[in-house]
Each structure stands twice: as structure tokens, then as C-alpha cells.
Amino acid sequence: MAQSTVPPSFPAPAPVSGAGAALADPGPLGLAAFAGTTFFLSVINTNMVSDRVTAGVLGLALFYGGITQLLAGMWEFAKGNTFGAVAFSSFGAFWMSYWYLVDHVLPGLSSAKVTDINHAVGLYLLVWAIFTAYMTIAASRVSLVVLGVFAFLTLTFVGLTIGALDGTPLNGWTKLGGWLGLVTALLAWYGSFAAVTNSTYKRAILPTFPR
């Protein structure tokens, strides 16, 4: 049987046997879930809409950005794809933790000092900036599209981290993080679109520039 010439979304794993060999590429699903949730929150961070509607992202964060990405990560584990498994599982956990932070933790900190709350959120974002930064190094061996997603996401987290530590609502750093997040979301959507289109047409129609 001839092998497909369509490149996978993330690095081609070593050949696997059993259930993992029968799985479709979970990359397009994970990228789409990440892109949609990132787009929604980034629009708020740019101040194009009021931050009073932030709660509107929570359902999306829990079910699409969170649970769906976590599932994509588990399927990547089954396929033997370390990069995709770590990336999707981690960012699925990020979105679920974001939902929990906004919906359960922050409302209970109303008696805490505003500066302390800002520092807590800033450190939370810094953790993800560090993780994304070292994943960017690995992403450089995947494709230029995936590298672009991780590079812009790193910059997004850095901007949001500084903005949170600054403490001024929707300051310049937070807005910058929002605009960078929009670029990140568009790149992730393109990566998903290209992967699912190429898979459907059984040939490389849209380039992802694999490394």
C-alpha cells in the first residue's frame, strides 16, 4: 500500500501498532480548539469589546480549549507523537485552569490586596510563558506554521504577564498581548485548516512548510 504524501500537523511519530495506528491526525482538532478560545479572549484583551464580557469565554475555555485539546493530546500520546501530546495536553490544562481561576479562585479573593491578586495572575501567566518558550525551540523542527504559533504565543504570554504585573486594567502591555494573541489564533486556525484540507484531499494543497 502506498503511503500518504500528506504531512501530519505535528512531527510524524515512529510507527505504532494497535489502536494508535488507526487514529486520524488529532492535530487539526487541537489547533482549532486552541485558536477559537485564544481568539475570543484576545479580542477582549485588545479592548475591542468590554472586559465585562470575559465570563463569556469560560464555557469555550472549559469545553473546547480545555477538554477538547486534552483529548487531542491523549490521542497524540496514542499515536506516539511526543510534541503534539505535550503541547495539546498542556494547553488543554491551561484553558481548564483558566476557567477555574476566573470562575472559582478570583471571586474568592475579593478581600485580598489588588497588587497581590495581580502578582498571582502575573506569576500564573509567567509559568505558561516559560513553558511556551521552550516548546518553541522544539516547534522549530516541526513546521514554519507551528513555529509561528508558538513564537507569537510566547510573545503573547510575555505581554500579558507584564500587563498583569503592572496592575492597570487593560494597559498597553495587555492590549499588545491581545493583538499578538489574535495573530497566534489566526496562525493556529490556518494550521488546522491546512492540515484538515490536505488530509481530506489526500495531497498537500495548503503549505505548512514542514522542517
> What DSSP string runs through 113-169?
-HHHHHHHHHHHHHHHHHHHHHHHHHHTTTBHHHHHHHHHHHHHHHHHHHHHHH--T
Cα distances (angstroms) measured from residue 177 to each of 28, 41, 106, 129, 143: 24, 10, 21, 12, 23
Kindly tell me if the per-residue pLDDT of 93 is higher than 90: yes
CA triple 188-40-57, angle to 5 deg: 125
The whole-angstrom distance between residue 116's C-alpha and the CA centroid of its chain comes to: 27
Mean pLDDT of 3-29: 72
Percent of the chain with pLDDT over 90: 82
Mean pLDDT of 74-88: 97
C-alpha cell at position 182: 489574535
- How much is the pTM? 0.91
116 burial via Cβ count (<10 Å: 0-12, 13-18, 19+): exposed
Decide: 170 and 47 in contact? Cβ < 8 Å.
yes
pLDDT at 22: 81
For residues 166 and 172, give the distance between their C-alpha atoms in angstroms, rounded to a whole number: 10
- Give the CB-side neighbour count of residue 153, counting CA atoms within 13 A: 32
